[in-house]
Amino acid sequence: MKIMIFTIPGTVGYFESIGYPAIIAHLTIWGEVLGGAAMIVGFHTRIVALLSLPILLGAAWTHMANGWVFSSEGGGWEFPVLVVM
């Protein structure tokens, strides 16, 4: 199955292919877009950063089985954990 990851349907398809429901993909997309925009414009950056933690922790959890280095097959978990710190 070919998945185009850089589109909304591609992202939803990827999330479903690794076992997450589609709603989680949509919540993640909106959380990243709105949270990123809020941080760029400086709107309650500390609160937005705190609310973004579940997205980063979910990314780390998803990549945990792929090993340490993010350049490995499927991506590693060190980059999401680094961003959390």
State which residues form the domain around 13: 8-84
Length of the chain: 85
- Check residue 40 and give its pLDDT: 96
User: How many structural domains compose the chain?
Assistant: 1
Q: Which of 78, 52, 54 is nearest to 64 (CA)?
A: 78
Q: What is the pLDDT of residues 45-76, one digit of tens each?
A: 999 999 999 998 888 888 788 877 777 777 77
pTM score, whole prediction = 0.75
1 within a domain of the structure (yes/no) = no
What torsion, rounded to 10 degrees, do the Cα atoms 13, 18, 22, 24 define? -130
16 within a domain of the structure (yes/no) = yes
Residue 6: is its pLDDT beyond 70? yes
Q: How far is CA 38 from CA 42, 68, 83, in A?
A: 6, 30, 17
62 within a domain of the structure (yes/no) = yes
2 within a domain of the structure (yes/no) = no
